Structure 1
Amino acid sequence: MDQFHAMFAVGYLMLSCFAATCYGVTFSSLHKTLIVSASSPQGHVLKAGEDELTIKWEVNQTFPPGTDSTYKTVKLKLCYAPESQKDRPWRKTVDDLKKDKTCQHTIIARPYTPSNNSFIWTVDRDIPSAMFFVRAYVYDGQGVAVGYGQNTDRSKTADLFTVHAITGRHVTIDVASVCFSVFSVGSLVGFFYMERRKGKVSLVK
């Protein structure tokens, strides 16, 4: 019977692991064990490819000591605010983290440390125009999410910031376009002047 019980226990453990792998981790099952803040000298409106965002995070000391004993990795993500998710199913929030589309842009991933964490991020050039917040996930040694933190409240309405995407035009390009246009007009005027002068010379002859 002891051997049977041992085999049953092993089988149950394998089945539990298989179920966890199939169903994944839900956001609602995670505790907010990190405190996260995000700030910028530009305030709450940032330009993609230009402006910087300073992100700080640390373990939430209100939880019992040892809560973060399994934490191995922390990953910062840029997440869409509810206003920028409306009528956009490709940004939809889903409780299953494997299916969730809220946080699609990874800012940085690094080994976990409980305090004095800071990172200055220059907004990536490919970030679209939208309202965002920052969320940090912590993972155990198997890469499974075991906690999180974010710089906004539960309803995701406070401390949001807006990113303006690169439009594809640049001041240098605009200046070059103006110079080229002036050159073209000047060349056209010069051409007509030379043609008229040639015509007058022909009449004199």
Structure 2
Amino acid sequence: MEVPTAFLVISLLLTCFSATTYGVTFSSLKKTLVVTTTTKDQVLKAGDEQITVTWEFNKTYPAGTDSDYKTVKVKLCYAPISQKDRSWRKTVDLLKKDKTCLQKIAAEPYHASNNSFTWIIEKDVPTGTYFVRVYAFNTQGEEVAYGQSTNAEKSTNLFEVQAITGRHVSLDIASICFSAFSIVALGGFFYMEKRNGKASAQK
């Protein structure tokens, strides 16, 4: 009786382990999409400037290769220089654990050509060096192909994003005015207290 129970527990653990480790790997995807951007070697300001991404099916592949492509997701991805010593941006072959491309730019139905999307860089995008990657998904919602605006080593056609830093001038002015008002109010409070104290002493 003990042997079947132990066997059942082990089988259950193995099943759970398999379920958690199974998934699509980046190395299994075909690079069948051609992706370009308007951002070669530029420095762009978050919340202000924009990039235009275009993509299409690489016609050097046989016709029908993209027959199961249903949707695409366009993502902003960290270049290796912006991943160094940052484990939360780590590249992992298992896509569900990969942290290379955390920012979604767009999600659209798949079309083999004439795809273009202009995206204003969102205000919360951190300072870093980036490229753009497009994933193609099948009807099951699994990644089946990709394309990216850089080479395999992720060293060409990169661009930088400069995050929003510091405070706005109007906020600084408001802060100074509030501080000055607080000092004047505090001085007035002490003056009134001192005056009321003298008046009480004279009585």
TM class, shorter-chain normalised? Answer: 0.7 to 0.9
Shift of 1:173: 2.2
- Alignment match, 2:195: none
1:94 aligned residue (84, 92, 95): 92
* Residues 1:36 and 2:31 are matched in the alignment: no
- Alignment match, 2:65: 67
Matches for 1:77-92 after TM superposition, within 5 Å:
77-92=75-90
- Alignment match, 2:51: 53
- Alignment match, 2:163: 165
Shift of 1:174: 3.5
Structure 2: gaps of 5 or more residues: 1-17, 189-203
Which stretches of structure 1, 4 residues or longer, exceed 2 Å deviation after superposition? Answer: 19-22, 171-187
- Alignment match, 2:25: 26
1:118 and 1:20, CA in 2 relative to 1: closer, same or farther beyond 3 A? farther
Q: Quick one: percent identity of the two aligned structures?
A: 59
What TM-score do you get using the length of structure 1 for normalisation?
Answer: 0.75
For residues 142-192 of structure 1, the C-alpha deviation after alignment (integer angstroms, 9 at most, x for no partner) is 0010000000000001011111111151233234456667888999xxx9x
What TM-score do you get using the length of structure 2 for normalisation?
Answer: 0.76
For residues 3-56 of structure 1, the C-alpha deviation after alignment (integer angstroms, 9 at most, x for no partner) is xxxxxxxxxxxxxxxx79852111011111101011149x61111111101111
| Partner AA of 1:34 in structure 2 | L
1:138 aligned residue (127, 136, 148): 136
1:20 and 1:137, CA in 2 relative to 1: closer, same or farther beyond 3 A? farther
The alignment yields a C-alpha RMSD, in angstroms, of 2.8
- Alignment match, 1:125: 123
Structure 1: gaps of 5 or more residues: 1-18, 192-205
Instruction: Give the SS at the match of 1:125.
Output: coil
Instruction: Give the SS at the match of 1:98.
Output: helix
